[in-house]
Amino acid sequence: MKARHIKPSKVAILLLVILTSMSDLFAQRQTLYLPILQATNAGDLGLALSNPTLSDATVTLTARGFDGQGISGQDITNPVTLVIPASGQRSLRASEIFGAGVSGKTGWVELAASTPAVKGFFILFDAGLNFIDGAELVSTPSPRLIFPKVSVTRDSTTDITFINTEASGLRPTVTLYDNAGNLTARNIFPVEPFSGFSGPITSLVPVDRGFEGYAVVDVGSTPFDRHEPLVGFETYKNRSDIALLSAVPDSAVLRTGFLVHLASQSGYQT
């Protein structure tokens, strides 16, 4: 049986195709969104970023206020570029990223990563660590967000945050449904470019105490004019503790899912 010899020209072409494909892969970038920025005793922010690749990665962070303007001032560096070492990670508080001057500021952060392999999450906590919770960074904005747990009680009101990540203004509709699926309230809330809202649900729509249900924020896009500008999350309190839930985009809506953890003993209940 004769051995087949591959011509050097074919080997060169094959290597060129492989290298081109690899360079295209590494040239891809990713935008992530941190929907809340705060650095106060009442609520501080921690951010963790990981890079599982074999090369260093860069992440450029740009902080904006809820008015859409870049956050600036004394002792503030914005934007900031971080280097995430190969197979490494960085964990920083807001003031360690943007400088001590960011203390007391609120807003949100856009993260531009040099590779789509970079992932991250954030946590919110107070100075005494009486509460702490977090969620992963958002990678895909949506035309519609569902806030699955909204309540207005005597002790607390659900806070929601949503951001317009686009350079054009929006007029999203905010709708409340009770747990039986009945429409309870609806309002239009204009949002300027790169701006957002963060506060109690009662600041968006009128609702009576005792409400239990969910909220939907929808920009009303169509297949012919599809905007995907929204990212967001919500928090609700039980005494001093909080729970943080990412808003659910259309792409994450399921007919069938799995409850991955269930507890109903020793003072804990799912």
pLDDT in tens, 27-77: 578 999 999 988 666 778 999 999 999 999 999 999 999 999 999 999 999
Q: Which domain holds residue 85?
A: 30-136
Residue pLDDT, tens place only, 193-219: 999 999 999 999 988 888 999 999 999
Is residue 19 in a domain? Answer: no
Boundary residue ending a domain (136, 160, 183)? 136
What's the mean pLDDT when you consider all of the chain?
86
In the chain, the number of structural domains is: 2
Do residue 95 and residue 159 come from a single domain?
no
Nearest-CA neighbor of 144 among 243, 232, 66?
232
What's the pLDDT score for residue 243? 84
Is residue 9 in a domain? Answer: no
Boundary residue ending a domain (83, 108, 136)? 136
Q: Phi and psi at residue 82, in whole multiples of 5°?
A: -105, 145
Residue pLDDT, tens place only, 217-239: 999 866 666 678 999 999 887 66
Q: Span 110-130, mean pLDDT? A: 91
Give the pLDDT band (50/70/90) at residue 25. Answer: very low
Is residue 268 in a domain? Answer: no
The token duo for 110 is 């856009």
Is residue 69 in a domain? Answer: yes
Is residue 151 in a domain? Answer: yes
What's the pLDDT score for residue 253? 78
Is-contact 31 62, C-beta < 8 A?
no
Do residue 96 and residue 124 come from a single domain?
yes
Do residue 198 and residue 115 come from a single domain?
no
Do residue 154 and residue 132 come from a single domain?
no
Is residue 241 in a domain? Answer: yes
Give the pLDDT band (50/70/90) at residue 170. Answer: very high
CATH number, domain with residue 76: 2.60.290.11
CB burial readout 171-205, b (16+ within 10 A) else e: ebebbbbeeeeeebbeeeeebeebbbbbeebbebb
Omega into 143 within 30° of 0, i.e. cis?
no
The distance in angstroms from the start CA to the end CA of the chain is 68
What's the pLDDT score for residue 24? 45
Do residue 169 and residue 234 come from a single domain?
yes
